[in-house]
C-alpha cells in the first residue's frame, strides 16, 4: 500500500514555468515524434493509458502528447461507461476492439480500469491480467500512468472550475464524491495499483500537481522505455518482444479428455427415414430452446472445425434450420486480412462475440492458430505453443461471462475425403468448393493429425470441451451435432 | 394508393401444403444456391430487405432464404431501434455500415424503413432515396419486399401466439397497436410503398397469408430478377450495372463559387512574432468554442485536401492544439483496403462520421475519388463524374443532420513543393515523409490542377464551401485555417 504514498506531492511544488523545463519538454517531445517513426518501422504496437484522480489533468496531458504524434498511426480513445450494446458483451470485449495495429499507438483517456475505479464495483482483475499478459506476450508495449494529486489540490481545482460558467459543467458528481471521500478512494486506488502492477505492464504513478512537470515525467518514461525496447529489437530482431507465454504443461484448467482421432470409429449408418424424422423433431426442439436462451439472455458460441470436405457447411445449415434467423449469426473464417494479421490473433474473433441472448456460429475458428498457422509456419513456435493457454483463457472468459460453448471436430477418414474431393471436382455446381489448397492440405494429412490430436488434448476443457463428430456418414453427423447443442442448452437451463 | 389494395389476399387462400408447391420451392431454392456462386463470381453486391405487418412471417421467411445461401457471403441484419450510439449519428449512418461487399448478399429483417413505419414519425424520405440511388448507381442490386396480411389474419396470428406461454412474449405492444389501428397503418404503408418504389429499387408486395406461397413468391422474384441481371452482366461486361448517375450539369445545389487555383495570390508573409501571438490567442478561443459545440451536441467535420507537402499535417497539428483530445479524432485517409475497395466509395467515410458534439478531422477525404482515383484511373469516368453529386448529397446530409462542415484546399505553387520535397529528401528525420509516389504525382501537376479546379467548382456548395488556404507561407496558412474554423463555429452558434 504505498504506490501513491511514496510519491511526495509536496516535492513537486517547484516552478512549473521555468525555461529549463520547457526546453526539456520540447526535447522529449521531438524525441517522441522521431520514435513514432521507428516504432512504425519496427512494427511495435503501443498502448498508453492514463488514469488518475478527477481534475488531475489527464485530458490536457493526452492532448499534449498527441501533438507530438503523427495522427496517421496514433489513435485516442476516451473511455466512459459502456454503451447498451457494449454492456451485452464480455467486459473486456470493447477494449479488445481498440487494439492498435503493429507500429501504431493507441492512447487511452481512462481505460479498462475505468469500470473498476468506482468504489464498490466488482473487480475484473483476472480478465485484466489476461488481457495485458496476452498482449505483451505478443509484443505489445503497454504504458500505464496514474496521475496523482492531493486532496487539497483537487478541491482547489474543482472550486476553480465551478467558479466559471464556461467550466462549471466539467465538474461531475463523481469528481465531487471523490474529493469528499478522498481517503477511501485513495485506498481503493492503492489497492488497484498494487494488484495490477504486473511485471509485464507496470503502473507508473506520476504527480499531477504541476502540469508541465507531469507532462515531462510521462514523456520521459515513454521515451526512455521505448528507446530501450527499440534497442532490444534492433539487437535481437523482429521477434525479440514475443514471449514464451504459458505452455501447455503449465496450464491450470480442468480438462475433459477426448480420444485420439485414430481411435474414432467411423462406421456409423443412419437410414434416410430415421434421419428425416429425427431432423424434424430435433429442429423443432432446438427452436424452442433457442427462444429460451433469447429470453433469458444467455449467449452461445458454437465452433466448427474439421477436415476439408468433412461437411461443416451442410452440418451448420441443418443446425441453423432449427434456429430463428434473428438470433444467430454464422461467421465464416477465412485467411486473416492484413488488418487482422497486424493484431493479436484473437482480435478478429473478439469482434464477433455475440451479445447476450444471441448465438454465434464459427465456421472455422481461432483454432486455425494451432492447425494451419502452425503447419504452414504462419505462426512461430512460440506463438502457437502459447496459443493453447490463450485460447483456454479466452473460452474461460466467455464461460465466466455466461456463454454456452460447444466445439465440434468433424472427423472423416482419408478415403472419404478423397471421394468427396473427386465428386466436387467432377460436379460443375460443386467445383467452387474445391481448391488447389485443399489438395495441398490433404498431402499434409499426417502432420495435421498430430496437430489436431495435440489441439484437442490441450484445449478440451471442462467449460469448453471438444466433441468429435463422426462424419463419414453426413446424416449421422448432423443429427449428433444438433443433439449435442440441445443437450448443452438443456444443461445450462437446468442450472438456473 | 393501391400497392397493397391490388393484392387480392383472398386469392392466396389456396393449399399451402401441396406437393407441387414444395417442389417448386425446392427448385427455386436450388437455383438461388447456384445463383449465389454466380453473384460472387460476377462481384455483384445484393441487398434483400423484408418489411411487412407484424406477424406476417418475415423472420421465418428470412430463415428459409438463408438456408439456401452459403454463409460465407451472406449476412443477416435484424434492424431494431437505433442504439444510443447510433442515435447520435446521421439516421442513415448505421445502414451504410451494413453494406455488403461485391459478390455478397445482405438480408435485412426490417430495414431503413423501420424507423419510419411507425405512425407519426418524421420520414427520412430524401435520405432513403439518396441511399438507394447511390448504391444502385454503383451496381448494387436491392430487393424490397413487403409482406402483406389482412387484419383478420393478423388478429388470428396474434391470438395464437398469445395463447401459448412459449410464444406469448413474441407479441409486442406495437403489434397489438397495429392490429387495432390496421386501417390507419394500411394508409401509412400504402403511402410509404408508393413514395419509395423507385425505378431503381422498386417494392414488391407479397401476400403473407400462406407461408409457403410467400416463400415461393419471394424466391421467384429474387431468382428471376437476378438471372436477368447476371445475363446482362455476362453480355455487357463487368460494368454493366454502373449507372451514369447525376452529372454536374444536372445538380441542384446552391453554390459558393471560388477562384481557380491559378488566380490565387500566394505571396503572403507573417512575422514570427505575429504568428506566435495569434496562434496562442486563437487556440484559446477555439478551445472555448469547441466546448460549446460539445455541450450543445453540435458535430463538426473538417476536411483537409492539398498538394503533397502543402503542410496538411502541420496545419492539423496546430488546429487540434486548440481542442480537447476527447472531442476530436483525426482520420488519416490512405489508399483504400480491399474491404473498402469492394464497397461504395463513401462507405469508409461513413464509418468515421463523428457522433453529435464531436469533431472529425479528415487528413485527405472522399475527394480522392475526383482527384487521384480520376487521374490514376482507379475510378471509371462514370464513377468519378457522378461522384460530384454523390459528394454534395453526402455533405448536404451531414449538414441537414446538424454538422458544421469546413473544407480546406491547401494551395502551394510548384516551386515551393520542389523546395519542400528536396528538404525532406535531404533531412534524415523527414525522409519518411517523401515517397516515390510523391514525385510521380508531381509530374502530373497539370492534370491534377484541372481536376482540382473542377472539383472545387462542382462541390463548393453553400452548406459546405471550399476554403482555399494560401500555404506557401505555413504560418499564414495555419492561422487562416484556425480563423475559418472559429468563424464557422461562431456562425453556427449565432444561429441557435
Does A169 sit within 8 Å of B295, measured CB to CB?
A: yes
Cβ distance A291 to B166 less than 8 Å, yes or no, reads: yes
Residues B73 and B168 in one domain: yes
Whether residues A320 and B67 touch (CB distance < 8 A) is answered with yes
Enumerate the residues of chain A whose CB falls inside 8 A of the CB of residue B323. 63
Using CB atoms, which residue from B37, B78, B325 is nearest to A109? B325
Report the C-alpha gap between B300 and B323 in whole angstroms. 12
CA distance A313 to chain B (A): 8
Mean pLDDT score, A233-238? 92
Residue at which a domain ends, from A223, A241, A259: A241
| CA angle at A347 for the pair A343 and A351, rounded to the nearest 5° | 140
> Which of B214, B241, B268 represents a domain boundary (last residue)?
B241
Classify residue B3: in a domain, yes or no. no
Same domain, B449 and B384: yes
Q: What is the pLDDT of residues B300-351, one digit of tens each?
A: 999 999 999 999 999 999 999 889 888 999 999 989 988 999 999 999 999 9
* Residues B232 and B193 both lie in one domain: yes
How many residue pairs from chains A and B have C-beta atoms closer than 8 A? 101
pLDDT in tens, A36-56: 999 999 999 999 999 999 999
Q: Per-residue pLDDT for A2 more than 80?
A: no
Report the alpha-carbon distance of residue A219 to residue A65 in Å, rounded. 8
How far is Cα B390 from Cα B384, in angstroms, rounded to an integer? Answer: 10
Q: Do B334 and A72 touch (CB under 8 A)?
A: yes
Residues A59 and A192 in one domain: yes
Q: Are residues B397 and B283 in the same domain?
A: yes
Torsion of CA B265, B266, B272, B274, to 10 degrees: 20
pLDDT band at B48 (very low <50, low <70, confident <90, very high): very high
Kindly determine whether residue B59 and residue A432, on different chains, have CB atoms separated by under 8 Å.
no
Give the pTM: 0.84
Residues B209 and B358 reside in one and the same domain: no
Is B350 inside any structural domain? yes
* CATH number where B200 lies: 3.40.50.300
Task: Judge contact between B31 and B65, C-beta under 8 A.
Answer: no
In chain A, the residue whose alpha carbon lies closest to the alpha carbon of B166 is A288
* Structure confidence by residue, pLDDT tens digits, A430-489: 888 888 999 999 999 999 999 999 999 999 999 999 999 999 999 999 999 999 999 999
Q: Which residue in the set A83, A334, A363 is minimally distant from B84, CB to CB? A: A83
Using a CB-CB cut-off of 8 Å, the residues of chain B touching A76 are 325-326, 329
Residues A326 and A436 in one domain: yes
In this structure, what C-alpha cell is assigned to residue B359? 469533431
Residue range(s) defining the domain that contains residue A96: 9-241
Chain A residue with Cα closest to B110: A326
Dihedral angle computed from the Cα positions of residues B242, B245, B247 and B251, in that order, rounded to the nearest 10 degrees: -160
Contact A109 B329 (CB under 8 A): no
Of B366, B348, B359, residue with least CA distance to B302: B359
The answer to whether A323 contacts B63, with C-beta atoms less than 8 Å apart, is yes
pLDDT for A432: 81
Test A325 with B71 for CB contact under 8 angstroms. no
Domain membership flag for residue A3? no
Contact predicate B293/B489, CB 8 Å: yes
Residue indicated by cell numbers 481448391: A435
Let me know whether A202 and A293 are in one domain: no
The answer to whether position B2 is within a domain reads no
Nearest to B309 by CA among B483, B471, B454, B469: B471
pLDDT score of B21 more than 80? yes
Structural domain ending residue among the three candidates B241, B263, B290: B241
CA angle in degrees (0–180, nearest 5) for B111-B115-B116: 100
The total number of structural domains in chain A stands at 2
Within a domain: B331: yes
Q: Please report whether residue B352 resides in a domain.
A: yes
Kindly report the nearest CA distance between residue B104 and chain A, in angstroms: 13
Q: Please check whether residue A56 lies inside any domain of the structure.
A: yes
CB nearest to B337's CB, from A317, A324, A339:
A339
Which one of B57, B63, B276, B340 would you mutate to disrupt binding with A, by most A Cβ within 10 Å of its Cβ? B63
| Percent residues over pLDDT 90 in chain A | 82
A300 in the same domain as A197: no
pLDDT value at B1 more than 80: no
Say which residue, A121 or A83, is predicted with more confidence. Answer: A83
Q: Which residues of A touch B325 (CB under 8 A)?
A: 59-60, 62-63, 66, 76, 78, 107, 109
The answer as to whether A2 is a domain residue is no
Question: Is residue B229 located within the same domain as residue B270?
Answer: no
| pLDDT, tens digit (0-9, with 9 covering 90-100), for B132-169 | 999 999 999 999 999 999 999 999 999 999 998 878 88
| Chain B residue numbers touching A85 (CB-CB < 8 A) | 83, 85
Residue A132 to residue A243: CA distance in whole angstroms: 13
Are B485 and B316 in contact by the 8 Å Cβ rule? The answer is no
Question: A415-424: per-residue pLDDT in tens?
Answer: 999 999 999 9
User: Is the per-residue pLDDT at B32 higher than 60?
Assistant: yes
- Mean pLDDT, rounded, of chain A: 93
Mean pLDDT of B398-425: 96
Residues A372 and A424 in one domain: yes
Residues A298 and A175 in one domain: no
Contacts of B62 in chain A (CB under 8 A): 325-326
Q: How far is B302 from chain A (nearest CA, A)?
A: 15
Amino acid at each position: 500500500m504505498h504506490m501513491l504514498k511514496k510519491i511526495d506531492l509536496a516535492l513537486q511544488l517547484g516552478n512549473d514555468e521555468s525555461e529549463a523545463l520547457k526546453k526539456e519538454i520540447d526535447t522529449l517531445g521531438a524525441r517522441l515524434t522521431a520514435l513514432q517513426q521507428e516504432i512504425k518501422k519496427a512494427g511495435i504496437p503501443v498502448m498508453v493509458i492514463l488514469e488518475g484522480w478527477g481534475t488531475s489533468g489527464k485530458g490536457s496531458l493526452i492532448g499534449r502528447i498527441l501533438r507530438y504524434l503523427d495522427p496517421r498511426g496514433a489513435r485516442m480513445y476516451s473511455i466512459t461507461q459502456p454503451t447498451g450494446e457494449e454492456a451485452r458483451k464480455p467486459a473486456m470485449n470493447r477494449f479488445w476492439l481498440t487494439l492498435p495495429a503493429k507500429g501504431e499507438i493507441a492512447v487511452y483517456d481512462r481505460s479498462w480500469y475505468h469500470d473498476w475505479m468506482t468504489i464498490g464495483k466488482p473487480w475484473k482483475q483476472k480478465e485484466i491480467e489476461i488481457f495485458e499478459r496476452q498482449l505483451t506476450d505478443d509484443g505489445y508495449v503497454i504504458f500505464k500512468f496514474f496521475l496523482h494529486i492531493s486532496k487539497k489540490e483537487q478541491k482547489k481545482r474543482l472550486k476553480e472550475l465551478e467558479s466559471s460558467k464556461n467550466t462549471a459543467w466539467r465538474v461531475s458528481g463523481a469528481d465531487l464524491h471523490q474529493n469528499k471521500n478522498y481517503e477511501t478512494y485513495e485506498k481503493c486506488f492503492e489497492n488497484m495499483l498494487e494488484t495490477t502492477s504486473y511485471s509485464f505492464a507496470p503502473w507508473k504513478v506520476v504527480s499531477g500537481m504541476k502540469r508541465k512537470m507531469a507532462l515531462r515525467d510521462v514523456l520521459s518514461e515513454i521515451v526512455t522505455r521505448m528507446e530501450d525496447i527499440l534497442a532490444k529489437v534492433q539487437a535481437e530482431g523482429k521477434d525479440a518482444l514475443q514471449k514464451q507465454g504459458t505452455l501447455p504443461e503449465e496450464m491450470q484448467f480442468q480438462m475433459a479428455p477426448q480420444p485420439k482421432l485414430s481411435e474414432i470409429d467411423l462406421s456409423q449408418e443412419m437410414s434416410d427415414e430415421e434421419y428425416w424424422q429425427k431432423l424434424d423433431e430435433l429442429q423443432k426442439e432446438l427452436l424452442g430452446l433457442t427462444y429460451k436462451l433469447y429470453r433469458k439472455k444467455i449467449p452461445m458460441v458454437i465452433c466448427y472445425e474439421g477436415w476439408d470436405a468433412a461437411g461443416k457447411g451442410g452440418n451448420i445449415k441443418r443446425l441453423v434450420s432449427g434456429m430463428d434467423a434473428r438470433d444467430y449469426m454464422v461467421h465464416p473464417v477465412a485467411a486473416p486480412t492484413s488488418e487482422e494479421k497486424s493484431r493479436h490473433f484473437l482480435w478478429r474473433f473478439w469482434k464477433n462475440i455475440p451479445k447476450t441472448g444471441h448465438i454465434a456460429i464459427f465456421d472455422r475458428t481461432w483454432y486455425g492458430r494451432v492447425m494451419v498457422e502452425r503447419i504452414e509456419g504462419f505462426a512461430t513456435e512460440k506463438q502457437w505453443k502459447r496459443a493453447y493457454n490463450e485460447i483456454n483463457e479466452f473460452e474461460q472468459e466467455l464461460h465466466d461471462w455466461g456463454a454456452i460453448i460447444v466445439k465440434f471436430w468433424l472427423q472423416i477418414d482419408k478415403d472419404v475425403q478423397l471421394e468427396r474431393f473427386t465428386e466436387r471436382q467432377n460436379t460443375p455446381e460443386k467445383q467452387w468448393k474445391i481448391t488447389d489448397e485443399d489438395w495441398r492440405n490433404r498431402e499434409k494429412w499426417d502432420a495435421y493429425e498430430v496437430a489436431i490430436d495435440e489441439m484437442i488434448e490441450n484445449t478440451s476443457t471442462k467449460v469448453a470441451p471438444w466433441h468429435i463428430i463422426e462424419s463419414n456418414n453426413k446424416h449421422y453427423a448432423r443429427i449428433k451435432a444438433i443433439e449435442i447443442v440441445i443437450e448443452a442448452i438443456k444443461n445450462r437451463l437446468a442450472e438456473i
